[in-house]
Amino acid sequence: MSAIERRYAGIVSRTVALAIDAVTLTIGFAVASGVFGLILSLFTAVEVSSPGAVVGAAVVWSVVVAGYFVLFWTLAGETPGMRLMALRVIDRAGDPPGFGQALVRLAGMILAAIPFFAGYLLILVDDRRRGLQDMLARTTVIYAPKTTVPGPAPAQRVSPAG
């Protein structure tokens, strides 16, 4: 796909994809935290609402969120939310961003949210619909419609002659 054929993803589809990822992360983390808290309460006398536990949970949450985005962008070029919205993040060569680029993109997402998500508004005015995070990481988000790859022909049954 050449640069001319690429359709750059807009702010609405990107926001919906991010919301899907946020819901996925929140539900997954809530379930995992509940299971972990239950197991912890069965075997220890640690109070899970102590300040140390809250800080620890916040640190773990941050690592999980960072890992989720960075690993999905690096390995697949898309998060599950982006996949549902048929979006893909690519570098200048059209490949998924490298690990370093993904880290810069994540930091850019945080910076883009300060203040009042102003860095995301750049998507509305940039010719390639890039937000601050894309400009910093040198990435672009494109529409990547699902394509079907033809597989081998189904096996045909051959009946014995007779």
Q: What is the mean pLDDT of residues 53-59?
A: 86
* pLDDT tens profile 150-161: 666 566 665 566
Q: Which residues pair with 89 in a beta bridge?
A: 141
Q: Give the pLDDT score at 41.
A: 81
CA distance 140 to 78: 12
Q: At 33, is the secondary structure helix, strand, or coil?
A: helix
pTM, 2 dp: 0.82
Q: Is 126 exposed, middle or buried (0-12, 13-18, 19+ CB in 10 A)?
A: middle
Task: Give the type of residue at 94.
Answer: G
Q: Give the pLDDT score at 145.
A: 85
Q: What are phi and psi for residue 8, nearest 5 degrees?
A: -80, 135
